Structure 1
Amino acid sequence: MWRSLWRSKDRFSLQYFEHVLAEVRQIKVVDVYNRESVIDLLQSIVEIVTYGDRQDPLIFECFMEHQVLAEFVRLLKISGNSRIEASLLQYLSIMIQNLDSEQAIYYCLSNGYINSIIAHQYNFDAGDLALYYVSFLRAVSSKVNRDTLCLLVKVHGDVVVSFPLYDEALKFAQHGEKMIQTAIRALTLNIYNVSDDMVYDFLTTPPASKYFSDLVHSLREQCLHLDALVHSVREKCTPERREDIFLKTDKIVDDLYYFKDILSVGESRLSMVVAQKLLGILIFPILIPLLQLGEIKGLNISAVTSLYIVSRLLQVVGGKSLTNVVAALLLYPYITFNTEYSTNGDKGDSFSDTNSFSNFLNDINILECSSPECEGAEKINTNRLLGHLVEYESSNYHFIRNPGGADVFSERSGILAYIFSENHSISFLSLFLLIIIVESKGMLY
C-alpha cells in the first residue's frame, strides 16, 4: 500500500527510480508467485527512463550508472516464464522507440546488452512471444544509424563475422503471421539503408546472402501456385477460386514491391546480388522455355502466367538491368547463349567475346534501379553479372540444347508468336509486356 501511495505521488522522481532499481536487484528468481510484481517493476523502469530522457538527465545518468540493461538480461536468465519475457520485450521496445537523445540511444546499443537480449534462448511456441520479440528487433533497427551500427556487429579484423540483430530476424522471414513478415522486411530495409562497406560485404556473401535466394525461391513457388490456380479456374470457375487468384496475385505484387525497395537502396553490391537472383531463379527459368530457347527440368509454367509474372515484375520492380535483359531476350534477333566459357583470365571478358547476347548487353549502362534516388548508384559490370548467371544456371538447371549437340540456342520468332496467338489472354499479355518495356525509363532506345 505504501509503495502504491509513493508511486502515485513521486512516480517520476529520481528517488523513486532508485527505490525501484533496489527492488529489482533483490529479485533472485522469477516465478508464478512474483511475476506480476516483476512486470510492474519493469513497467515503472521504462516509464521513468522515458521521462528522464526528455525531462531529467539525472534519471538517465542513474540508469547508466546502475547498468539497468544488465538487470534486464539477468531477469531473462532467471525466468523461464514466457509472460515475463513477453512483457520485458514489450517494455524494452517502448523504451527504445521513445528515446530521443543520441547519448541514450548510443548507451543502450553499447556494452553488448541488446545483443544478449537478442541472442537469449526463447520458447517461441508459447503465446505471442514471437510477435513481441520481432517488435523488439524492429524497434532496435529503427534506432540504428551509421554511427551505432558497429555496436551491434561482431568483427574479426576487418570482417564482420556475426550480426545477431539481422541473423535472428531472418529466422522469422517466412513466418506465417503477416505482421511478423512485415516487421522483418521493415527491419531489413532499415539495416540496408545504414550499412557500411564491411556490413554490405557480410550481407551479400554466404551465408547471409542466402536470404535473397530464399526470397526469390519463395516468389517462384508462389508463381507456380498461381499457375495451378489459373489451370483450376479453366477447369471450373467458382467465386472461391477467383478470390484465391486475386489473393495470390496480391501477395506476389507485395513481394515484388519489397524487391523494389531493396534495389532502391542504390548500393551496387546489394543490387548485384538481388538482380542475379531474380534473373537466375525466376526470370530466365520463366522466359527461356516460354521463348522456346530450351527447357528447364522441374519447371512447368503456362504462357499466360509467365507473361503476367514478367510483366508485373518489370512494372513494379523496373530497373535498367532487368528491363534490358528481358527486352534482349524478347526482341534480340538471336541468342548464342554458350554456357562453356574460358576459365583463363577474366571470365566476364571471355564470356562477352564469345557471346552475342552478352556483347549486346555490354553496351548498356546498367543501374539496378530506375528511381530518381538511385541516380548516383554505382554502375554494375554487366559481364560480371552475366558470368555469375551462367555459372548459376549451369549448376542448377539442365537446358535442352538443339538436336545435334550444338552449343547455342536456336533462333526463335520471339514474342511475335504470342502476340498473334488465337488465345486472347496470351495475345493481350504479350502486348501488355511489350508496352511496359517500351514505356520503361530504363529501356535502351
Structure 2
Amino acid sequence: MFHNTMLSRISGLFRTKPRDRFSVDMVMFYGEELAATPVVTDKTAEGVVEILRAVAELVIWGDQNDGAIFDAFMEVGMLDALFRILKQNPPHVVVVQGLQTLSILLSQITAQTSIYFILSNNRINNIITHAFDSSNEEILAYYVTFLKTLALKLDNTTIQFFFNVEERTFPLYTEAIRYYNHSESMIAAAVRTLTLQVFRIPNAALRTFLVSPPVAPYFPALITTLATHAHRLQAAVTAASSDPASGPVRVRAALDALLDHLFYIHDIYALGLAGINSVLTTSLLNDLVRPVLVASVTRSSSELSSELALFLLAQLFHTLDDPLLIRALTSALLTEDVAVRQALVAALNLNVGTDELALPALACLYAVVSNDAVRSRDLAAAGLARARPLSLTSLASLEDRESTSWGNSSQFSSCDSEIAEAEPSDSLATDLSASAATDASTVEPAPPAEHNEPAPLPAPSLSLLSLPSSSPAASPAASATDSPSAHDATRYDTPSLDTPFPDALLVTKLLLLAHHPTRSRLATMHLTTALLSLLLGSSLPAHPALRTLFDIAYVLVVERLRSAFFELPLNLFTAMFEDEYLAAQRPPRLDHALADPSLLLPVARTSLSGLDLAKRLPSGELEDVTRALQTFFIFRNAKATLLPLTLASPAGLPWIDAPPPLAVGDSIALQSLQSPPMPCTGSRDADTPDAANVPRMLVIAPPAAPHLFVLVERPAPDAGDATVVLVGHLAGLAVTTDATDMSVIHGLVQPPSPLLRTRKWSFWAAFPSMSDALTAKSELERGRAAADAARLTAIANHMGVAPSSLTHAL
C-alpha cells in the first residue's frame, strides 16, 4: 500500500494539467488525479471536492458539445472512483460534493444513452444503499435530493435499473420512505415527490410490490402520521387558551403540517390506483375516522375535542375527492351510527351561545354537501338532499305536498313546551328537524352581552307559526313573489317533525343569529346561509313555514341596520355602506374559511386578537355598525339565492356600479342645461398655473349626471358645445371661500368609497365677482345636499326600507 501510494505521488509529479479546459485530456487528467488519491483525508478533501465539481461541469458541457467527453468519463471509471471514495466515509464536504455532483449529472444530462450508462451495472444502487451519516442534516438533505433526482428519471424503461422483480427489491423507494415524516420539511417534501413519481409508473409488478409486504405498511403509516398531526394540533389548541400571544402561531404551524400531509394523501388518491387507494381508505376509516374523529364527535372518546374532530372531518371532505372514499366517509359520518347524527344536532342547536361548536359543525356539513364526490342518494338517506332547480309550474304541487305533510303536525306554542314526538327514523333529517322544533320552544336564554340588543323574541322560531294554516290552494305565483313580514306569520303552516331537510333548524338558527347579532361570528352566518342555499336553492317559496322564518330574520337584520344608521355621522355611515356593498360583490372564499385555524380557538372579543371581524365578535360602536352592515349583505345575498323572485332589483348604487356618465374630454350641449353655466377660471390644485388664464364654465348637476359637477371649456366663444376638463362628485363635497379673495372658492372632493381606490382631491375656481363666487358656492352646496339625498335614497332602496325612514337624518 505504501509502495503504491509513493508511486502515485511520484507519477503525479510528472503529470501536467491540459490547457484545454473542456477536452478529453482534461477528463483523463481528473481520472488520474482521483486514482492517485486512494484515501481521502482532511488534507486532500479540498482537492477532491474541486475535482468533483470540475468533472460535473465538464461532463455537462460535453453532453451538449462533445460526446467523446462522456465516453472518457465512463472509460476512466469515474463513477467507480466516486463510489470508492464515498465508501470510505470521507469528510462530510466530500460526501456532500459527491452527492451534489451525481444529482447535477442526472438532472442535466439529456442524452438518454448516457443516462442508461450511468444507471447500469448497479453502481447507483450501491450508492443508494450505502450507509450515509443520516445524523448530519446537510448530508441527509443532499442524499434525499439525489434520490429525488433519480426518481424524476424513472419511467417504464428506467425502472429496470432500480426495481428487481425476481428479488422483490427496490432500494430507491425503500430507502427514501424511511424519511417520509422527517422533521425537516424540505426532506419530507422531497420524499413525497419521489414516492408520487414512483406511484405514477405504469408497471403492474411494481404496483403489486407497493401494496405487498414489506413495504405495504407505508400507507397505514401515513394515516397514523395524520392522526399524530391531529393530536399535535389538539395540544396546540389546548395550550393556546393559556398563551394568547404565541398560541395561535403554534396552532397555525400545527395545522399547516397536518394540511400538508393531508394534501399529500390527496395527491396519492388523485393518481387513481385502485390497490393503493383501497389500502389507504381502509386504514383511514379504521385507524382515524371511526376510532378517533367520529368517536370524539360522539364523545365516546376524549382523544380530541368535538370541535377539532368536526373541523378535521370538514378538512377530509374538503380536501379528498376519491368517490369510493367519500362514499365511505359519508356513511361513517351520517348513516352508520345514530349517535353521530345526535351529536351533530346537539352541535347545531338553537342556543346561539354555542358558536364554538356550531361553527365547526356547520363547516363539516357544508364540506359534505358541497363535495361533488358525495352522491345525492347518500345525502338523501341522511336527510341532506341537495336543492334541485325548481320551476314556477311545480310550486303548486310542492305547496300541496308541503301543506299536506305539515297541516296535520303538532303545533308549537310559546306558552307550552310540549312537543309531539317524532316517528322513529334513522335519518339525520328527523334528528335535525326534531331539534329545531324542541329548541324552538325551549331555547335557553344566552348570557348577557356587553352590547345593547333587541329584547328577546318570545319563543323564537317555530312557535310563531302555531296558528291554523291557510288553504293550500294559494296561487303559486303569489307564493313565489310575496314577501311576508313578521306580522304575516299566521298565514303559514307549521312544519312537522319529519320534514325532509334540516332546513327548519338552519333557518331558525338564522332567525336567532339575526336577533342576537353580537353573540355569534359572521363566519357562522356565512356557513349557515351557504349550507341553506345548497340544500334549498331557489325552492324556499315551496316551504311556506321556512320562508316565514327567513323573512322574519331578514326583517330583524334590516331593522338592526336601520337602527345602526343613526349611531354614526351620515357621511361615515354611507361610506361604510359603500365599502361593504363593494365587498359583498366578491363572494366569500369558504374554502379558506374551512381551513382557518381561528375556528379552533376560543372566540375572540377584541380587535387586539388580530383577527378579521368575520372571525370574532365586534368590539365597540364602529365595529357594531360594521357587523350590522356585513350581516345585512350576507342575508341579502342569501335572499337573492333562496327567494330570487321576491327580491326587487334596485338600481343599486349607480355612482359605484357604473363609471361616471361624464368624463374628461366628453362634450356637453350647453343649450340642454337647465340652468346657465357660470363663467370662471379654475382647475385642480395639482394642475399647472397656466389654467388660471383659460376661460371656463362651472356646470352643476348636468342632466346626464345629476350627482356630478364639471368644469367645461368652449372651443370657440360662440360654440354651442363645451368640452369637459374636470369632473367631481357632489356627494360629500366641501366648499369654502378663499380667505384673501372672496371671488375665489376652494373645494375638497371626497370619493364615494375608499375601495374605489380614488383619493381625495381639491380644486379652485375664480369668478368675475364676489357675488358670483357666493352664488356658485351656494349652488354647489345645494347640489351636494341633493346628491346626498339621492345617495341616501339609493341606500334605502337597497335596504328595502322607505327612504323617508332615513332621509330625515339629513
Question: What band does the TM-score fall into relative to the shorter chain?
Answer: 0.7 to 0.9
Rounded to whole Å, the distance in 2 between the matches of 1:433 and 1:271 is: 23
- Which residue identity is paired with 1:93? S
SS at match of 1:153: coil
Rounded to whole Å, the distance in 1 between the matches of 2:273 and 2:340 is: 36
The reply to whether residue 427 of structure 1 matches residue 433 of structure 2 is: no
Q: Is the 8 A contact 1:153 1:163 kept in 2?
A: yes
The reply to whether residue 300 of structure 1 matches residue 303 of structure 2 is: yes
- Which residue identity is paired with 2:357? I
Alignment of 1:140-159 (within 5 A): 140-156=150-166
- Which residue identity is paired with 2:349? F
Q: Is the 8 A contact 1:49 1:95 kept in 2?
A: yes
Over residues 16-38 of structure 1, what are the superposed CA-to-partner deviations in whole Å (9 max), with x where a residue is unaligned? 11222122223221112211111
The reply to whether residue 162 of structure 1 matches residue 161 of structure 2 is: no
Over residues 96-137 of structure 1, what are the superposed CA-to-partner deviations in whole Å (9 max), with x where a residue is unaligned? 111111111122112100001111122233461111111111
Q: Is the 8 A contact 1:31 1:79 kept in 2?
A: no
Identity of aligned residues (%): 27
Over residues 378-400 of structure 1, what are the superposed CA-to-partner deviations in whole Å (9 max), with x where a residue is unaligned? xxxxxxxxxxxxxxxxxxxxxxx
Over residues 47-82 of structure 1, what are the superposed CA-to-partner deviations in whole Å (9 max), with x where a residue is unaligned? 111111121111122223333212211122245322
Rounded to whole Å, the distance in 2 between the matches of 1:327 and 1:276 is: 14
- 1:182 corresponds, among 183, 189, 192, to 189
Over residues 169-208 of structure 1, what are the superposed CA-to-partner deviations in whole Å (9 max), with x where a residue is unaligned? 1222222211111111111111111251111112112221
Rounded to whole Å, the distance in 1 between the matches of 2:26 and 2:53 is: 13
Length-normalised TM-score, structure 2: 0.43
1:281: Cα distance to partner?
Answer: 1.4
Counterpart for residue 113 of structure 2: 103
Counterpart for residue 316 of structure 2: 313
Rounded to whole Å, the distance in 1 between the matches of 2:243 and 2:40 is: 57
1:305: Cα distance to partner?
Answer: 0.3
- 2:39 corresponds, among 15, 23, 29, to 29
- Which residue identity is paired with 2:371? S
- 1:134 corresponds, among 120, 124, 144, to 144
Counterpart for residue 371 of structure 2: 440
- Which residue identity is paired with 1:211? Y
1:138: Cα distance to partner?
Answer: 1.1
Rounded to whole Å, the distance in 1 between the matches of 2:143 and 2:296 is: 44
- 2:327 corresponds, among 303, 324, 327, to 324
Rounded to whole Å, the distance in 2 between the matches of 1:191 and 1:90 is: 22
**Unaligned stretches of 5+ residues in structure 1:** 336-408
Rounded to whole Å, the distance in 1 between the matches of 2:101 and 2:350 is: 61
1:6: Cα distance to partner?
Answer: 4.7
Q: Which one scores higher on RCO, CA 8 angstroms, separation ≥ 6? A: 1
- 2:20 corresponds, among 4, 7, 10, to 10
Counterpart for residue 118 of structure 1: 128
Rounded to whole Å, the distance in 2 between the matches of 1:411 and 1:16 is: 73
The reply to whether residue 44 of structure 1 matches residue 54 of structure 2 is: yes
Alignment of 1:376-391 (within 5 A): none
Structure-2 change in CA distance of 1:4 and 1:277 (3 Å): farther
Structure-2 change in CA distance of 1:176 and 1:63 (3 Å): same
- Which residue identity is paired with 1:418? A
Counterpart for residue 79 of structure 2: 69
Rounded to whole Å, the distance in 2 between the matches of 1:37 and 1:61 is: 24
- 1:19 corresponds, among 22, 29, 33, to 29
Alignment of 1:87-98 (within 5 A): 87-98=97-108
Rounded to whole Å, the distance in 2 between the matches of 1:127 and 1:253 is: 25
SS at match of 2:168: strand
1:329: Cα distance to partner?
Answer: 2.8
- Which residue identity is paired with 1:26? A
- 2:273 corresponds, among 267, 271, 274, to 267
1:412: Cα distance to partner?
Answer: 5.6
The reply to whether residue 212 of structure 1 matches residue 216 of structure 2 is: no
Rounded to whole Å, the distance in 1 between the matches of 2:137 and 2:279 is: 37
Alignment of 1:325-340 (within 5 A): 325-332=328-335, 335=337
- Which residue identity is paired with 1:92? L
- 1:83 corresponds, among 75, 84, 93, to 93
Q: Is the 8 A contact 1:330 1:415 kept in 2?
A: no
1:410: Cα distance to partner?
Answer: 7.2
Structure-2 change in CA distance of 1:436 and 1:42 (3 Å): same
- Which residue identity is paired with 2:345? L
SS at match of 1:125: coil
Q: Is the 8 A contact 2:125 2:172 kept in 1?
A: yes
Structure-2 change in CA distance of 1:6 and 1:29 (3 Å): closer
Rounded to whole Å, the distance in 2 between the matches of 1:123 and 1:164 is: 17
- Which residue identity is paired with 2:327? N
Q: Is the 8 A contact 1:219 1:255 kept in 2?
A: yes
1:251: Cα distance to partner?
Answer: 1.2
SS at match of 2:246: helix
Structure-2 change in CA distance of 1:43 and 1:4 (3 Å): farther
Q: Is the 8 A contact 2:297 2:305 kept in 1?
A: no
Rounded to whole Å, the distance in 1 between the matches of 2:252 and 2:14 is: 57
Counterpart for residue 280 of structure 1: 286
Q: Is the 8 A contact 1:331 1:415 kept in 2?
A: no
- 1:416 corresponds, among 317, 337, 345, to 345
Alignment of 1:324-403 (within 5 A): 324-332=327-335, 335=337
Q: CA RMSD in A?
A: 2.5
Structure-2 change in CA distance of 1:414 and 1:161 (3 Å): same
Q: Please identify, of 78-87 and 116-125, the stretch whose mean Cα deviation from structure 2 is larger.
A: 78-87
Rounded to whole Å, the distance in 1 between the matches of 2:124 and 2:223 is: 31
Structure-2 change in CA distance of 1:145 and 1:251 (3 Å): same
Q: Is the 8 A contact 1:421 1:427 kept in 2?
A: no
1:307: Cα distance to partner?
Answer: 0.4
Q: Is the 8 A contact 1:96 1:140 kept in 2?
A: yes
Rounded to whole Å, the distance in 2 between the matches of 1:4 and 1:245 is: 63
1:258: Cα distance to partner?
Answer: 0.6
Counterpart for residue 203 of structure 2: 196
Structure-2 change in CA distance of 1:74 and 1:411 (3 Å): closer
1:223: Cα distance to partner?
Answer: 0.9
Structure-2 change in CA distance of 1:411 and 1:81 (3 Å): closer
- Which residue identity is paired with 1:429? P
**Unaligned stretches of 5+ residues in structure 2:** 1-11, 377-810
Structure with the higher fraction of residues in helix conformation: 1
SS at match of 2:179: coil
- Which residue identity is paired with 2:323? K
Rounded to whole Å, the distance in 2 between the matches of 1:411 and 1:84 is: 59
Rounded to whole Å, the distance in 2 between the matches of 1:109 and 1:320 is: 39
Q: Is the 8 A contact 1:291 1:412 kept in 2?
A: no
SS at match of 1:328: helix
The reply to whether residue 240 of structure 1 matches residue 254 of structure 2 is: no
Q: Please identify, of 44-53 and 70-79, the stretch whose mean Cα deviation from structure 2 is larger.
A: 70-79
Q: Is the 8 A contact 2:333 2:340 kept in 1?
A: no
Q: Please identify, of 57-66 and 26-35, the stretch whose mean Cα deviation from structure 2 is larger.
A: 57-66
Structure-2 change in CA distance of 1:286 and 1:198 (3 Å): same
Greater C-alpha Rg: 2
- Which residue identity is paired with 2:363? F
